[in-house]
Structure 1
Amino acid sequence: MTGTDTGPIALTIADGVAEILLNRPDRRNAMDLALQEGLVAAIETVRGSDARALVVGGVGKHFCVGADLDVVDGEDRAGGDDTTTRMLAACEAFLLALRTLPMPVVAAVEGAAAGGGAGLALAADLRVLGRSATLHGSTFPLGMTPDAGVSWYLARALGPARATNLMIRNAPMTAELLASVGLADAIVDDGTALAEAHRLAAELGPRTPPLAIVGLRELMAAASTSDLAGQLDRERQWVGTLNRTADFAEGVSAFLQRRTPEFTGR
Protein backbone atom coordinates (compact mmCIF):
# COMPACT_ATOMS: atom_id res chain seq x y z
CA MET A 1 0.00 0.00 0.00
CA THR A 2 1.21 3.49 -0.86
CA GLY A 3 -0.21 6.75 0.40
CA THR A 4 0.39 10.47 0.41
CA ASP A 5 -1.29 13.34 2.20
CA THR A 6 -0.64 16.59 0.37
CA GLY A 7 -2.84 18.69 2.64
CA PRO A 8 -6.01 19.32 0.62
CA ILE A 9 -5.69 15.97 -1.17
CA ALA A 10 -5.19 12.52 0.37
CA LEU A 11 -4.08 9.73 -2.00
CA THR A 12 -3.76 6.03 -1.25
CA ILE A 13 -3.20 3.06 -3.54
CA ALA A 14 -3.78 -0.46 -2.26
CA ASP A 15 -4.75 -3.78 -3.84
CA GLY A 16 -5.13 -2.28 -7.29
CA VAL A 17 -7.52 0.50 -6.24
CA ALA A 18 -6.47 4.13 -5.90
CA GLU A 19 -8.37 6.49 -3.63
CA ILE A 20 -8.32 10.28 -3.93
CA LEU A 21 -10.05 12.18 -1.16
CA LEU A 22 -10.68 15.92 -1.09
CA ASN A 23 -9.38 16.83 2.33
CA ARG A 24 -10.79 20.16 3.48
CA PRO A 25 -13.65 18.96 5.69
CA ASP A 26 -13.73 22.22 7.68
CA ARG A 27 -14.62 23.97 4.39
CA ARG A 28 -16.95 21.18 3.19
CA ASN A 29 -14.16 20.33 0.73
CA ALA A 30 -14.58 23.61 -1.12
CA MET A 31 -12.04 23.99 -3.90
CA ASP A 32 -9.20 26.46 -3.69
CA LEU A 33 -6.28 26.52 -6.12
CA ALA A 34 -4.12 24.29 -3.90
CA LEU A 35 -6.81 21.59 -3.82
CA GLN A 36 -7.36 21.74 -7.57
CA GLU A 37 -3.66 21.57 -8.40
CA GLY A 38 -3.24 18.78 -5.85
CA LEU A 39 -6.05 16.90 -7.58
CA VAL A 40 -4.31 17.21 -10.95
CA ALA A 41 -1.06 15.91 -9.43
CA ALA A 42 -2.84 13.02 -7.68
CA ILE A 43 -4.56 11.92 -10.89
CA GLU A 44 -1.23 11.88 -12.72
CA THR A 45 0.30 9.82 -9.90
CA VAL A 46 -2.55 7.32 -10.26
CA ARG A 47 -2.02 7.26 -14.04
CA GLY A 48 1.59 6.18 -13.54
CA SER A 49 0.78 3.60 -10.86
CA ASP A 50 -0.33 -0.03 -11.02
CA ALA A 51 -3.89 0.87 -9.94
CA ARG A 52 -6.69 -0.63 -12.02
CA ALA A 53 -9.51 1.58 -10.69
CA LEU A 54 -9.93 4.92 -8.92
CA VAL A 55 -12.33 6.01 -6.19
CA VAL A 56 -12.88 9.74 -5.66
CA GLY A 57 -14.54 11.03 -2.48
CA GLY A 58 -14.43 13.65 0.22
CA VAL A 59 -13.36 13.65 3.85
CA GLY A 60 -16.20 14.50 6.21
CA LYS A 61 -19.92 14.89 5.58
CA HIS A 62 -19.76 16.43 2.10
CA PHE A 63 -18.26 15.48 -1.25
CA CYS A 64 -17.47 19.03 -2.40
CA VAL A 65 -19.49 22.26 -2.35
CA GLY A 66 -17.65 23.82 -5.30
CA ALA A 67 -15.31 26.78 -5.35
CA ASP A 68 -14.20 28.34 -2.08
CA LEU A 69 -16.05 31.65 -2.34
CA ASP A 70 -13.94 33.25 0.38
CA VAL A 71 -10.96 32.89 -1.96
CA VAL A 72 -12.88 34.20 -4.97
CA ASP A 73 -14.35 37.11 -3.00
CA GLY A 74 -10.91 38.21 -1.84
CA GLU A 75 -9.21 38.18 -5.22
CA ASP A 76 -8.07 41.17 -7.27
CA ARG A 77 -10.10 41.03 -10.49
CA ALA A 78 -8.19 43.88 -12.11
CA GLY A 79 -5.52 41.64 -13.63
CA GLY A 80 -5.98 39.12 -16.41
CA ASP A 81 -4.29 36.25 -14.53
CA ASP A 82 -6.54 36.43 -11.47
CA THR A 83 -7.54 33.70 -9.04
CA THR A 84 -10.75 32.79 -10.87
CA THR A 85 -8.90 32.40 -14.18
CA ARG A 86 -6.29 30.12 -12.62
CA MET A 87 -8.91 28.11 -10.75
CA LEU A 88 -10.93 27.57 -13.92
CA ALA A 89 -7.79 26.41 -15.75
CA ALA A 90 -6.93 24.00 -12.92
CA CYS A 91 -10.53 22.74 -12.86
CA GLU A 92 -10.44 22.03 -16.58
CA ALA A 93 -7.09 20.27 -16.14
CA PHE A 94 -8.30 17.79 -13.51
CA LEU A 95 -11.60 17.13 -15.30
CA LEU A 96 -9.88 16.34 -18.61
CA ALA A 97 -7.19 14.29 -16.86
CA LEU A 98 -9.87 12.23 -15.15
CA ARG A 99 -11.66 11.51 -18.43
CA THR A 100 -8.47 10.16 -20.04
CA LEU A 101 -7.52 7.95 -17.09
CA PRO A 102 -7.28 4.35 -18.40
CA MET A 103 -9.35 2.78 -15.62
CA PRO A 104 -12.89 2.98 -14.25
CA VAL A 105 -13.47 5.98 -11.98
CA VAL A 106 -16.08 5.70 -9.21
CA ALA A 107 -17.28 8.76 -7.28
CA ALA A 108 -18.41 8.22 -3.67
CA VAL A 109 -20.81 11.08 -2.97
CA GLU A 110 -21.97 11.96 0.52
CA GLY A 111 -23.80 15.16 1.40
CA ALA A 112 -23.51 17.96 -1.16
CA ALA A 113 -21.84 17.88 -4.57
CA ALA A 114 -22.25 21.42 -5.88
CA GLY A 115 -20.71 23.55 -8.64
CA GLY A 116 -17.25 22.19 -9.38
CA GLY A 117 -17.96 19.33 -6.99
CA ALA A 118 -20.95 18.37 -9.13
CA GLY A 119 -18.71 18.49 -12.20
CA LEU A 120 -16.17 16.23 -10.50
CA ALA A 121 -18.86 13.69 -9.56
CA LEU A 122 -20.33 13.75 -13.08
CA ALA A 123 -16.88 13.25 -14.64
CA ALA A 124 -16.62 9.84 -12.96
CA ASP A 125 -17.78 6.77 -14.87
CA LEU A 126 -19.93 5.57 -11.98
CA ARG A 127 -21.42 7.22 -8.90
CA VAL A 128 -22.34 5.75 -5.51
CA LEU A 129 -24.51 8.11 -3.48
CA GLY A 130 -25.43 8.25 0.16
CA ARG A 131 -29.19 8.31 0.60
CA SER A 132 -29.34 12.02 1.48
CA ALA A 133 -26.70 13.14 -1.04
CA THR A 134 -27.57 15.91 -3.49
CA LEU A 135 -26.05 17.19 -6.70
CA HIS A 136 -26.42 20.91 -7.25
CA GLY A 137 -25.23 22.26 -10.59
CA SER A 138 -26.68 25.75 -10.58
CA THR A 139 -24.59 28.85 -9.90
CA PHE A 140 -27.44 31.22 -10.80
CA PRO A 141 -27.73 32.57 -7.22
CA LEU A 142 -24.14 33.81 -7.63
CA GLY A 143 -24.97 35.56 -10.89
CA MET A 144 -22.95 32.97 -12.78
CA THR A 145 -23.48 30.30 -15.43
CA PRO A 146 -22.53 26.65 -14.75
CA ASP A 147 -18.93 25.49 -15.04
CA ALA A 148 -16.89 22.30 -14.54
CA GLY A 149 -18.79 20.56 -17.35
CA VAL A 150 -22.09 20.51 -15.43
CA SER A 151 -24.11 21.87 -18.37
CA TRP A 152 -22.53 19.30 -20.72
CA TYR A 153 -23.32 16.29 -18.53
CA LEU A 154 -26.79 17.34 -17.38
CA ALA A 155 -27.96 18.33 -20.87
CA ARG A 156 -27.05 14.85 -22.11
CA ALA A 157 -28.58 13.01 -19.15
CA LEU A 158 -31.74 15.06 -18.75
CA GLY A 159 -32.19 16.86 -22.05
CA PRO A 160 -31.54 20.60 -22.41
CA ALA A 161 -35.04 21.66 -21.36
CA ARG A 162 -35.11 19.72 -18.08
CA ALA A 163 -31.53 20.63 -17.24
CA THR A 164 -32.29 24.31 -17.86
CA ASN A 165 -35.39 24.06 -15.68
CA LEU A 166 -33.43 22.62 -12.76
CA MET A 167 -30.68 25.22 -13.00
CA ILE A 168 -33.01 28.20 -13.40
CA ARG A 169 -35.00 27.04 -10.37
CA ASN A 170 -31.75 26.36 -8.49
CA ALA A 171 -33.11 22.91 -7.64
CA PRO A 172 -30.82 20.24 -6.17
CA MET A 173 -30.98 16.74 -7.64
CA THR A 174 -31.66 14.09 -5.02
CA ALA A 175 -30.10 10.64 -5.05
CA GLU A 176 -33.43 9.18 -6.19
CA LEU A 177 -33.72 11.63 -9.09
CA LEU A 178 -30.11 10.96 -10.13
CA ALA A 179 -30.79 7.21 -10.08
CA SER A 180 -33.92 7.66 -12.22
CA VAL A 181 -31.90 9.31 -15.00
CA GLY A 182 -28.95 6.92 -14.78
CA LEU A 183 -26.56 9.22 -12.92
CA ALA A 184 -26.49 7.18 -9.69
CA ASP A 185 -25.36 3.57 -9.96
CA ALA A 186 -26.08 2.77 -6.33
CA ILE A 187 -27.83 4.49 -3.42
CA VAL A 188 -26.59 3.35 -0.02
CA ASP A 189 -26.99 4.33 3.61
CA ASP A 190 -25.36 7.62 4.51
CA GLY A 191 -21.76 7.12 5.57
CA THR A 192 -21.25 3.97 3.48
CA ALA A 193 -20.78 5.40 -0.03
CA LEU A 194 -16.98 5.21 0.12
CA ALA A 195 -16.97 1.55 1.14
CA GLU A 196 -19.45 0.64 -1.61
CA ALA A 197 -17.45 2.62 -4.17
CA HIS A 198 -14.34 0.64 -3.20
CA ARG A 199 -16.23 -2.63 -3.56
CA LEU A 200 -17.41 -1.62 -7.02
CA ALA A 201 -13.96 -0.39 -8.07
CA ALA A 202 -12.29 -3.60 -6.88
CA GLU A 203 -14.84 -5.62 -8.85
CA LEU A 204 -14.58 -3.65 -12.09
CA GLY A 205 -10.89 -2.73 -12.16
CA PRO A 206 -9.32 -6.10 -13.02
CA ARG A 207 -11.80 -6.84 -15.81
CA THR A 208 -11.77 -3.40 -17.47
CA PRO A 209 -9.45 -3.06 -20.51
CA PRO A 210 -7.54 0.20 -19.92
CA LEU A 211 -7.34 1.30 -23.55
CA ALA A 212 -10.92 0.41 -24.38
CA ILE A 213 -12.44 2.42 -21.53
CA VAL A 214 -10.85 5.60 -22.90
CA GLY A 215 -12.37 4.81 -26.28
CA LEU A 216 -15.74 4.02 -24.72
CA ARG A 217 -15.88 7.44 -23.04
CA GLU A 218 -15.12 9.16 -26.34
CA LEU A 219 -17.79 7.18 -28.17
CA MET A 220 -20.43 7.84 -25.53
CA ALA A 221 -19.63 11.55 -25.52
CA ALA A 222 -20.12 11.76 -29.28
CA ALA A 223 -23.16 9.49 -29.54
CA SER A 224 -25.83 12.01 -28.49
CA THR A 225 -24.91 14.56 -31.17
CA SER A 226 -23.50 12.35 -33.93
CA ASP A 227 -25.43 10.96 -36.87
CA LEU A 228 -25.24 7.21 -37.46
CA ALA A 229 -22.65 7.44 -40.21
CA GLY A 230 -20.39 9.58 -38.05
CA GLN A 231 -20.73 7.26 -35.09
CA LEU A 232 -20.05 4.19 -37.20
CA ASP A 233 -16.89 5.89 -38.45
CA ARG A 234 -15.72 6.60 -34.87
CA GLU A 235 -16.45 3.01 -33.87
CA ARG A 236 -14.52 1.71 -36.88
CA GLN A 237 -11.52 3.85 -35.97
CA TRP A 238 -11.46 2.61 -32.38
CA VAL A 239 -11.93 -1.02 -33.41
CA GLY A 240 -9.08 -0.64 -35.90
CA THR A 241 -6.84 0.84 -33.22
CA LEU A 242 -7.67 -1.69 -30.50
CA ASN A 243 -7.55 -4.63 -32.91
CA ARG A 244 -3.76 -4.28 -32.95
CA THR A 245 -3.30 -4.28 -29.17
CA ALA A 246 -2.10 -7.03 -26.87
CA ASP A 247 -5.22 -6.50 -24.76
CA PHE A 248 -7.49 -7.45 -27.64
CA ALA A 249 -5.44 -10.59 -28.32
CA GLU A 250 -5.63 -11.44 -24.63
CA GLY A 251 -9.38 -10.82 -24.54
CA VAL A 252 -10.03 -13.13 -27.48
CA SER A 253 -7.72 -15.80 -26.06
CA ALA A 254 -9.37 -15.62 -22.63
CA PHE A 255 -12.84 -15.84 -24.19
CA LEU A 256 -11.94 -18.93 -26.20
CA GLN A 257 -10.24 -20.53 -23.19
CA ARG A 258 -13.14 -19.61 -20.87
CA ARG A 259 -10.93 -17.77 -18.40
CA THR A 260 -10.72 -14.25 -16.99
CA PRO A 261 -8.59 -11.95 -19.19
CA GLU A 262 -5.51 -10.25 -17.76
CA PHE A 263 -5.38 -6.84 -19.41
CA THR A 264 -2.17 -4.82 -19.31
CA GLY A 265 -3.05 -1.64 -21.20
CA ARG A 266 -0.83 -2.52 -24.15
Structure 2
Amino acid sequence: MAETPVLTEVREGYRLVTLNRPDKLNSFNEAMHQALADALDEARADTDCRALVLTGAGRGFCAGQDLSDRVRPEGGEAPDLGQTIETWYNPLIRKLHDLPFPVIAAVNGTAAGAGANIALNCDIVLAARSAKFIQAFAKIGLVPDSGGTWILPRLIGLARAKAICLTAEPVPAETAEAWGMIYRAVDDDALMDDATKLAAQFGKAPTEGLVRQRTLLDASLDNDLATQLDLERDTQRAAGRHPDYAEGVRAFMEKRPPAFAGRKG
Protein backbone atom coordinates (compact mmCIF):
# COMPACT_ATOMS: atom_id res chain seq x y z
CA MET A 1 0.00 0.00 0.00
CA ALA A 2 1.44 3.34 -1.03
CA GLU A 3 2.31 5.90 1.63
CA THR A 4 -0.12 8.73 2.14
CA PRO A 5 1.72 11.62 0.42
CA VAL A 6 0.45 14.27 2.85
CA LEU A 7 -0.41 13.78 6.51
CA THR A 8 -2.76 16.04 8.47
CA GLU A 9 -3.01 16.21 12.24
CA VAL A 10 -5.87 18.24 13.68
CA ARG A 11 -4.90 19.99 16.89
CA GLU A 12 -6.67 22.51 19.07
CA GLY A 13 -6.90 25.71 17.03
CA TYR A 14 -4.60 24.64 14.20
CA ARG A 15 -3.52 21.86 11.84
CA LEU A 16 -0.13 20.25 11.27
CA VAL A 17 0.32 19.29 7.61
CA THR A 18 3.33 17.12 6.71
CA LEU A 19 4.67 16.42 3.23
CA ASN A 20 5.20 12.67 3.38
CA ARG A 21 7.46 11.29 0.66
CA PRO A 22 10.62 11.09 2.78
CA ASP A 23 12.35 8.61 0.47
CA LYS A 24 12.09 11.27 -2.28
CA LEU A 25 12.95 14.23 0.01
CA ASN A 26 9.24 15.09 -0.20
CA SER A 27 9.52 16.05 -3.86
CA PHE A 28 6.24 16.68 -5.66
CA ASN A 29 4.45 14.32 -7.95
CA GLU A 30 0.82 14.74 -8.97
CA ALA A 31 -0.45 12.60 -6.09
CA MET A 32 1.29 14.81 -3.52
CA HIS A 33 0.08 17.97 -5.24
CA GLN A 34 -3.50 16.75 -5.08
CA ALA A 35 -3.17 15.57 -1.50
CA LEU A 36 -1.74 18.92 -0.37
CA ALA A 37 -4.46 20.86 -2.21
CA ASP A 38 -7.07 18.69 -0.48
CA ALA A 39 -5.42 19.20 2.92
CA LEU A 40 -5.42 22.98 2.50
CA ASP A 41 -9.04 22.99 1.30
CA GLU A 42 -10.07 20.91 4.31
CA ALA A 43 -8.27 23.30 6.65
CA ARG A 44 -10.02 26.26 5.04
CA ALA A 45 -13.41 24.59 5.46
CA ASP A 46 -12.78 23.88 9.17
CA THR A 47 -13.68 27.06 11.05
CA ASP A 48 -11.95 25.67 14.16
CA CYS A 49 -8.65 25.84 12.23
CA ARG A 50 -7.03 29.22 12.89
CA ALA A 51 -3.45 28.45 11.84
CA LEU A 52 -1.48 25.84 9.91
CA VAL A 53 2.04 24.43 10.18
CA LEU A 54 3.56 23.01 6.99
CA THR A 55 6.59 20.74 7.37
CA GLY A 56 8.26 17.71 5.79
CA ALA A 57 8.77 14.12 6.91
CA GLY A 58 12.26 12.72 7.32
CA ARG A 59 15.46 14.65 6.69
CA GLY A 60 14.18 17.22 4.20
CA PHE A 61 11.40 19.77 3.85
CA CYS A 62 10.85 19.49 0.10
CA ALA A 63 13.18 18.99 -2.86
CA GLY A 64 10.75 20.56 -5.34
CA GLN A 65 9.59 18.63 -8.38
CA ASP A 66 10.20 14.89 -8.55
CA LEU A 67 12.38 14.82 -11.67
CA SER A 68 11.77 11.11 -12.16
CA ASP A 69 8.34 12.20 -13.39
CA ARG A 70 10.07 14.24 -16.11
CA VAL A 71 12.46 11.70 -17.64
CA ARG A 72 11.85 11.29 -21.38
CA PRO A 73 13.62 9.21 -24.00
CA GLU A 74 16.26 11.00 -26.03
CA GLY A 75 14.59 12.71 -28.94
CA GLY A 76 11.16 12.43 -27.31
CA GLU A 77 8.73 15.32 -27.05
CA ALA A 78 9.62 17.88 -24.39
CA PRO A 79 7.20 18.10 -21.46
CA ASP A 80 5.04 21.21 -21.13
CA LEU A 81 6.40 22.55 -17.84
CA GLY A 82 4.21 25.63 -18.15
CA GLN A 83 1.17 23.38 -17.99
CA THR A 84 2.51 21.72 -14.86
CA ILE A 85 2.98 25.13 -13.25
CA GLU A 86 -0.47 26.32 -14.30
CA THR A 87 -2.14 23.12 -13.10
CA TRP A 88 -0.34 22.61 -9.79
CA TYR A 89 2.26 25.11 -8.56
CA ASN A 90 0.52 28.40 -9.29
CA PRO A 91 -2.76 27.32 -7.65
CA LEU A 92 -0.79 26.12 -4.62
CA ILE A 93 0.96 29.47 -4.14
CA ARG A 94 -2.31 31.35 -4.60
CA LYS A 95 -3.98 29.05 -2.10
CA LEU A 96 -1.25 29.62 0.52
CA HIS A 97 -1.58 33.40 0.17
CA ASP A 98 -5.37 33.23 0.34
CA LEU A 99 -5.89 30.98 3.37
CA PRO A 100 -7.98 32.74 6.06
CA PHE A 101 -5.40 32.15 8.79
CA PRO A 102 -1.60 32.36 9.25
CA VAL A 103 0.59 29.66 7.70
CA ILE A 104 3.90 28.70 9.33
CA ALA A 105 6.58 26.80 7.41
CA ALA A 106 8.71 24.60 9.66
CA VAL A 107 11.68 23.87 7.39
CA ASN A 108 13.29 20.75 8.85
CA GLY A 109 15.97 20.19 6.21
CA THR A 110 16.74 20.96 2.58
CA ALA A 111 14.20 23.15 0.80
CA ALA A 112 15.14 23.18 -2.87
CA GLY A 113 13.60 24.51 -6.06
CA ALA A 114 9.86 24.85 -5.76
CA GLY A 115 10.16 23.48 -2.22
CA ALA A 116 12.17 26.51 -1.16
CA ASN A 117 9.71 28.93 -2.74
CA ILE A 118 6.67 27.20 -1.28
CA ALA A 119 8.21 27.63 2.18
CA LEU A 120 9.10 31.28 1.53
CA ASN A 121 5.55 32.05 0.44
CA CYS A 122 4.23 31.05 3.86
CA ASP A 123 3.53 33.84 6.35
CA ILE A 124 6.25 32.88 8.83
CA VAL A 125 9.24 30.64 8.14
CA LEU A 126 11.12 28.87 10.93
CA ALA A 127 14.06 26.70 9.88
CA ALA A 128 16.27 24.20 11.64
CA ARG A 129 19.89 25.35 11.78
CA SER A 130 20.83 22.38 9.61
CA ALA A 131 18.34 23.43 6.92
CA LYS A 132 19.29 25.17 3.69
CA PHE A 133 17.45 26.88 0.86
CA ILE A 134 18.51 26.18 -2.72
CA GLN A 135 17.27 27.80 -5.91
CA ALA A 136 18.30 24.71 -7.84
CA PHE A 137 16.77 25.66 -11.20
CA ALA A 138 20.02 26.88 -12.77
CA LYS A 139 21.45 23.38 -12.46
CA ILE A 140 18.94 22.04 -14.99
CA GLY A 141 18.42 25.04 -17.25
CA LEU A 142 15.15 26.25 -15.76
CA VAL A 143 13.93 29.42 -14.05
CA PRO A 144 12.62 29.83 -10.48
CA ASP A 145 8.89 29.22 -10.22
CA SER A 146 6.32 28.88 -7.43
CA GLY A 147 6.56 32.61 -6.81
CA GLY A 148 10.34 32.58 -6.38
CA THR A 149 11.06 35.53 -8.68
CA TRP A 150 8.35 37.52 -6.87
CA ILE A 151 9.16 36.74 -3.25
CA LEU A 152 12.97 36.68 -3.28
CA PRO A 153 13.65 40.28 -4.40
CA ARG A 154 11.08 41.45 -1.85
CA LEU A 155 12.71 39.50 0.98
CA ILE A 156 16.44 39.92 0.28
CA GLY A 157 16.81 42.50 -2.49
CA LEU A 158 17.54 42.11 -6.17
CA ALA A 159 21.32 41.65 -5.89
CA ARG A 160 21.15 38.69 -3.52
CA ALA A 161 18.13 37.23 -5.31
CA LYS A 162 19.99 37.23 -8.63
CA ALA A 163 23.10 35.73 -7.06
CA ILE A 164 21.41 32.78 -5.37
CA CYS A 165 19.28 32.06 -8.44
CA LEU A 166 22.08 32.25 -11.00
CA THR A 167 24.62 30.32 -8.91
CA ALA A 168 22.20 27.87 -7.26
CA GLU A 169 24.36 28.15 -4.13
CA PRO A 170 22.73 26.83 -0.94
CA VAL A 171 21.73 29.44 1.63
CA PRO A 172 22.13 28.03 5.17
CA ALA A 173 19.31 28.74 7.61
CA GLU A 174 21.35 31.14 9.73
CA THR A 175 22.34 33.14 6.64
CA ALA A 176 18.72 33.15 5.52
CA GLU A 177 17.77 34.63 8.89
CA ALA A 178 20.53 37.25 8.74
CA TRP A 179 19.39 38.30 5.24
CA GLY A 180 15.74 38.55 6.23
CA MET A 181 14.74 35.64 4.00
CA ILE A 182 13.13 33.82 6.95
CA TYR A 183 11.90 34.78 10.39
CA ARG A 184 14.20 32.64 12.50
CA ALA A 185 16.71 29.77 12.51
CA VAL A 186 16.35 27.53 15.55
CA ASP A 187 18.07 24.47 16.96
CA ASP A 188 17.00 21.35 15.10
CA ASP A 189 15.44 19.71 18.13
CA ALA A 190 13.45 22.86 18.93
CA LEU A 191 11.95 23.43 15.47
CA MET A 192 8.64 21.63 15.77
CA ASP A 193 8.11 22.73 19.36
CA ASP A 194 8.65 26.38 18.39
CA ALA A 195 6.44 26.07 15.28
CA THR A 196 3.56 24.38 17.08
CA LYS A 197 3.72 26.79 20.02
CA LEU A 198 3.38 29.66 17.57
CA ALA A 199 0.48 27.92 15.82
CA ALA A 200 -1.22 27.33 19.17
CA GLN A 201 -0.80 31.04 19.94
CA PHE A 202 -2.43 31.91 16.62
CA GLY A 203 -5.15 29.36 17.40
CA LYS A 204 -6.37 31.67 20.18
CA ALA A 205 -5.69 34.97 18.40
CA PRO A 206 -8.07 37.35 16.59
CA THR A 207 -7.76 35.50 13.28
CA GLU A 208 -9.50 38.09 11.11
CA GLY A 209 -7.22 40.79 12.46
CA LEU A 210 -4.12 38.75 11.69
CA VAL A 211 -5.25 38.11 8.12
CA ARG A 212 -6.04 41.80 7.65
CA GLN A 213 -2.48 42.61 8.75
CA ARG A 214 -1.09 40.14 6.22
CA THR A 215 -3.18 41.72 3.47
CA LEU A 216 -2.00 45.22 4.33
CA LEU A 217 1.67 44.25 4.51
CA ASP A 218 1.52 42.41 1.19
CA ALA A 219 -0.20 45.36 -0.48
CA SER A 220 2.37 47.83 0.89
CA LEU A 221 5.06 46.45 -1.41
CA ASP A 222 3.24 47.77 -4.47
CA ASN A 223 1.28 50.76 -3.09
CA ASP A 224 2.42 54.34 -2.75
CA LEU A 225 2.01 55.97 0.67
CA ALA A 226 -1.28 57.70 -0.11
CA THR A 227 -2.85 54.48 -1.35
CA GLN A 228 -1.56 52.55 1.64
CA LEU A 229 -2.88 55.12 4.12
CA ASP A 230 -6.32 54.86 2.54
CA LEU A 231 -6.16 51.08 2.69
CA GLU A 232 -5.15 51.19 6.37
CA ARG A 233 -8.11 53.46 7.09
CA ASP A 234 -10.61 51.21 5.32
CA THR A 235 -9.17 48.04 6.81
CA GLN A 236 -9.16 49.47 10.34
CA ARG A 237 -12.78 50.52 9.92
CA ALA A 238 -13.73 46.94 9.05
CA ALA A 239 -11.58 45.50 11.85
CA GLY A 240 -13.21 47.79 14.39
CA ARG A 241 -16.61 46.34 13.51
CA HIS A 242 -15.51 42.76 14.13
CA PRO A 243 -16.53 41.28 17.51
CA ASP A 244 -12.91 40.41 18.28
CA TYR A 245 -12.11 44.11 18.67
CA ALA A 246 -14.87 44.61 21.26
CA GLU A 247 -13.74 41.47 23.09
CA GLY A 248 -10.12 42.59 23.07
CA VAL A 249 -11.06 45.95 24.62
CA ARG A 250 -13.30 44.33 27.25
CA ALA A 251 -10.61 41.83 28.18
CA PHE A 252 -8.03 44.61 28.49
CA MET A 253 -10.29 46.67 30.74
CA GLU A 254 -11.24 43.63 32.83
CA LYS A 255 -7.61 42.47 33.07
CA ARG A 256 -8.36 38.97 31.77
CA PRO A 257 -7.26 36.89 28.76
CA PRO A 258 -9.45 37.58 25.71
CA ALA A 259 -11.68 34.89 24.22
CA PHE A 260 -11.53 35.79 20.55
CA ALA A 261 -14.16 34.41 18.19
CA GLY A 262 -11.59 34.04 15.41
CA ARG A 263 -13.09 32.61 12.22
CA LYS A 264 -16.50 32.13 13.86
CA GLY A 265 -16.96 35.85 14.55
Give the TM-score, by structure 1 length.
0.88
Superposed CA offset, 1:136-185 (max 9, x none)? 12411221111011121110111112211221121221111111133333
Matched, 1:240 2:237: yes
Q: Kindly report which structure 2 residues correspond to 1:25-174, keeping only aligned pairs within 5 A, or say none.
A: 25-49=22-46, 50-74=48-72, 85-174=83-172
Kindly state the Cα deviation for residue 262 of structure 1 after the two structures are TM-superposed.
2.1
Superposed CA offset, 1:197-240 (max 9, x none)? 11221133312x22222222221112223211011122122112
Distance 1:186 1:157 in 2: 13
| Structure 1 alignment gaps of length 5 or more | none
**Alignment size in residue pairs:** 259
Return closer, same or farther for 1:25/1:88 CA change in 2, 3 Å cut-off: farther
Report if the CA contact (8 A) 1:99-1:217 is conserved.
no
Partner of 1:202: 200
Using the TM superposition, name which of 136-145 and 179-188 deviates more. 179-188
Return closer, same or farther for 1:41/1:73 CA change in 2, 3 Å cut-off: same
Superposed CA offset, 1:230-260 (max 9, x none)? 1112212211222222222222222332322
Distance 2:160 2:223 in 1: 21
Report if the CA contact (8 A) 1:110-1:191 is conserved.
no
Kindly state the Cα deviation for residue 78 of structure 1 after the two structures are TM-superposed.
6.6
Report if the CA contact (8 A) 2:52-2:102 is conserved.
yes
Partner of 1:214: 211
Return closer, same or farther for 1:216/1:137 CA change in 2, 3 Å cut-off: farther
* Structure 2 residue identity aligned to 1:214: V
* Structure 2 residue identity aligned to 1:163: A
Distance 2:237 2:246 in 1: 13
Superposed CA offset, 1:12-34 (max 9, x none)? 10222211000001110001111
Report if the CA contact (8 A) 1:72-1:84 is conserved.
no
Using the TM superposition, name which of 249-258 and 117-126 deviates more. 249-258
Partner of 2:19: 22
Report if the CA contact (8 A) 1:99-1:214 is conserved.
no
Distance 2:89 2:249 in 1: 39
Distance 1:78 1:122 in 2: 29
Report if the CA contact (8 A) 2:156-2:180 is conserved.
no
Distance 2:209 2:19 in 1: 28
| Structure 2 alignment gaps of length 5 or more | none
Return closer, same or farther for 1:127/1:229 CA change in 2, 3 Å cut-off: same
Give the TM-score, by structure 2 length.
0.89
Distance 2:150 2:108 in 1: 22
Distance 1:118 1:238 in 2: 31
Report if the CA contact (8 A) 2:126-2:182 is conserved.
yes
Distance 2:77 2:4 in 1: 27
Return closer, same or farther for 1:244/1:43 CA change in 2, 3 Å cut-off: same
Distance 1:148 1:252 in 2: 40
* Structure 2 residue identity aligned to 1:14: R
Return closer, same or farther for 1:257/1:183 CA change in 2, 3 Å cut-off: farther
**Percent identical:** 36
Return closer, same or farther for 1:24/1:123 CA change in 2, 3 Å cut-off: same
Kindly state the Cα deviation for residue 111 of structure 1 after the two structures are TM-superposed.
1.6
Distance 2:118 2:230 in 1: 30
